[in-house]
Amino acid sequence: MHLEIKSLIEKIIQKDIILEKPKDISFGHYATPAAFALAKEEKKNPMVIAEELALRFQGIDIFESVTAVKGFLNFKLSNKYLLENINKSLKLDLDFAKGEGRNEKILLEFVSANPTGPLHIGHARGAIFGDTLLKVGRYLGYDITAEYYINDAGTQMEMLATSLYLAAEEHIYKEDVEYPEQFYRGEYLFDIADKCVEKYGKDIFKDETKQQELALFAKDEVMKIIISDLADLGVVFDTFVGEKTLYKDWEETKKTLLINNSLYDKEGKTFLRSTMYGDDSDRVVIRENGIPTYLAGDIIYHKNKFDRNFDRYINIWGADHHGYITRVKAAVEFIGHDSSKLEILLSQMVALLKGGEPYKMSKRAGNVILMSDITNEIGADALRFIFLTKKSDTHLEFDIDTLKNQDSSNPVFYINYAHARINQLFKKANLTVNDVSNEDISSVNQDGKDLIFQALLLSDVLEDAFSKRDIQKITDYLHGLSAMIHKFYNEHRIIGDSVEKQYLKALSIVGLSLRVGLKVLGITAKEVM
C-alpha cells in the first residue's frame, strides 16, 4: 500500500518524495515533506508550495482529503480505497500481503553449531531468527535456500571421540571417570554409547584405532538430535554442507589465493593478508604442521557458496564471531568475489530466568540450558515469539514463567486473545466472514477505520522487516494491532449495533492480518482461548 500511494503522489507532483506515517493518525494516514525540498529549487515558501500541491489532488478518489499543514502534505485515504483493499485482501485469505517474482536468489546459512552436542538456548535464538527471516523472505517472493554448515573437521571431532570413550568408561563399564575441563559431557553421550554398543559391540571402546570411526558415528548421532530438536521448533533446512568434505578442494582454493597474491609464508606458517581489507592482523591459514586452520575451512566453504551463483549470501553467527567478519570478507575478495554480496548478521546470547531466578542447567548435556527443554516447557510458539521481540544483535533476557501467564503480561497470549476475541464476536453474531463480505464500511466510526488502516499495513511491515533484517518490527506490529483491537472492543458496542455487520467486516481484515502475521513468524493463531 505504501509503495502504491508513494508512486501515485510522485507521479502527480513529478518528484521523488519521502512518504511517512504521522504519529498522530488524526493528521492523516500519510504525509510528505516534499514542499520543503521544492522550496529550495523554486525559492518559495514551503507552506505556499504545499497549498499549491494540495490542489493537484482534487478529484482523486483514493484520497478523502489532501491538506497542507505547516509545509507538510497530509493524505487521508478514502473509504472507497480502504474498502477495495479490504475486499482484495479477504479474497487472498492466507495469501494476504504475499509477494511474488522477486529476482533475487539468497543463500541463508544459520545455526551451524558444532555437531558435538544438543543445541543450547543460545543456539535457539539464531535458529529462530534465521528461520523467520527465511519464512518472511519466501512469503515476499524471494528464492531462499536454508543451509546448515556442519563443522565436522578439526580437533572438536577428536575431542568428541575421546569424550565418547570416557562416557563409555563411566556408563558401560561403570568406571570412575574424571573428565578434563575441555571435553564434552552429558547424558546424551551415554545414549550414543548405548547405540554404539548395539551397532559395534562393547569391544569397540577398547580399540584405540577406532577413534575416527567413533567420531563419525557420534557426529551423525548428534546431528540427528540437532535436526530433531530444530524440527520441534519448526526449523527445517534445505541443504547441509560438511566441512570435512570440502577439504578436498583446499589445493584448488589455495591456488586461487596464491594467484591473487593473498598468501605469504612466515615462521613456518602461511598467512592470509587480511589486513588489506581492514583486519587488525593477518591470519594463519596453514599451521607449521601443514594442516589448514579453521579459517581455511571457512575460505573453502565461502568459495563453494559463491561458486553456486546466488545473488546474495546471508550468514547468521553468534555475537562472539564479531571479530571474524573482516577476515572472512577479506577472504571472499581474495577468492575473486564481491564481499558486499555477503551479509553477516549477529545473534546475541540469552539470559533465561524462571520465577525470577536463573534457569537451572541441564545435566543431560553438561552445564548448558538445552533448547529442547525450553521448547518442551513453554512450547515452540511462545519460544519463537519471545526470541523475535528484540533485534537479534541485542541482549535478551526473559522469564519463562511469564510465557505461561494467561494475561497481557504474556505477549503471545495477548495477541492470540485478540484473534480469538474477533472469532468470538462472529460466533455471537452467528455470522461468518463470507456473510459480511459485501458490506460497506462507510458507517464505521473513526476508531474502526484506524483499525482497518493499521491491519492493511501488514505488507509494508513485512517488507520493512525483511529489508532491514529486523523481525522485531513484525512482533511490535502484531502487539500494537492487538492493543488496538482490545481497546476498540472495550470502548465500542459491536454486537447488536445498527452497523454490526460493517464492524465485523472491519474486524475480519484485522483478524486476517493477525493470522498471516503470526504465520510468517512460524506461529499458528489460536481460534479459541
Q: Is residue 229 part of a domain?
A: no
Q: Which residues of 135-173 are buried (b: 16+ CB within 10 A; e: fewer)?
A: bbbbbbebebebbbbbbbbbebbebbbbbbbbbbebbee
The single residue listed with the C-alpha cell 557458496 is: 305
Q: What was the pLDDT predicted at 154?
A: 84
The single residue listed with the C-alpha cell 525540498 is: 37
Q: Which of 168, 198, 222 is the last residue of a domain?
A: 222
CA 299 to chain centre: 25
Q: Is residue 277 part of a domain?
A: no
Q: What was the pLDDT predicted at 362?
A: 63
Q: Which of 453, 426, 439 is nearest to 499 (CA)?
A: 439
Q: Which of 403, 410, 359 is nearest to 379 (CA)?
A: 403
Q: What was the pLDDT predicted at 65?
A: 95
CA 236 to chain centre: 13
Q: What was the pLDDT predicted at 208?
A: 81
Q: How many CB atoms lie within 10 A of CB 103?
A: 8
SS3 150: strand
What CATH number did the domain enclosing 68 receive?
A: 3.30.1360.70
The DSSP H or E segment spanning 73 is strand 72-77
Q: Is residue 144 part of a domain?
A: no
Total domains present in the chain: 3
**Terminal Cα-to-Cα distance of the chain (whole angstroms):** 32
CA atoms of 201 and 192, how far apart (whole Å)? 13
Tens-digit pLDDT string for the chain (529 aa):
899 999 999 999 999 999 999 988 988 999 999 999 999 888 899 999 999 999 999 999 999 999 999 999 999 999 999 999 999 999 999 999 999 888 899 999 999 999 999 999 999 999 999 999 999 999 999 999 999 999 998 889 999 999 999 999 999 999 998 888 888 988 899 999 999 999 999 989 988 888 889 999 999 999 999 999 999 999 999 999 999 999 999 999 999 999 999 999 999 999 999 999 999 999 999 999 999 999 999 999 999 999 999 999 999 999 989 999 999 999 999 999 999 999 999 999 899 999 999 887 765 555 688 999 999 999 999 999 999 999 999 999 999 999 999 999 999 999 999 999 999 999 999 999 999 999 999 999 999 999 999 999 999 999 999 999 999 999 999 999 999 999 999 999 999 999 999 999 999 999 999 999 999 999 999 999 8
Helices in 179-210 by DSSP H: which ranges?
187-200
Q: Is residue 434 part of a domain?
A: yes
What CATH number did the domain enclosing 455 receive?
A: 1.10.730.10
Q: What was the pLDDT predicted at 178?
A: 86
Q: Is residue 365 part of a domain?
A: no
Name the grid cell of 527.
481460534
CA atoms of 226 and 164, how far apart (whole Å)? 17
CA 285 to chain centre: 32
Q: Which of 207, 222, 237 is the last residue of a domain?
A: 222
Strands 283-286 and 269-272, how do they pair? antiparallel
What residues are paired with 270 via a beta bridge? 265, 286
CA atoms of 60 and 69, how far apart (whole Å)? 19
- For the chain, percent helix, then strand, then coil, each to nearest 5? 55, 15, 30
- Taking a C-beta distance cutoff of 8 angstroms, is the pair 492, 447 a contact? yes
- Give the structural domain span for 54: 2-77
Q: Which of 476, 520, 509 is nearest to 140 (CA)?
A: 520
Q: Which of 51, 77, 103 is the last residue of a domain?
A: 77
What residues are paired with 83 via a beta bridge? none
Q: Is residue 46 part of a domain?
A: yes
Q: Is residue 51 part of a domain?
A: yes
CA atoms of 442 and 164, how far apart (whole Å)? 71
Name the grid cell of 94.
492466507
CA atoms of 230 and 238, how far apart (whole Å)? 13
Q: Is residue 516 part of a domain?
A: yes
Q: What is the pTM of this model?
A: 0.93
The DSSP H or E segment spanning 8 is helix 2-13
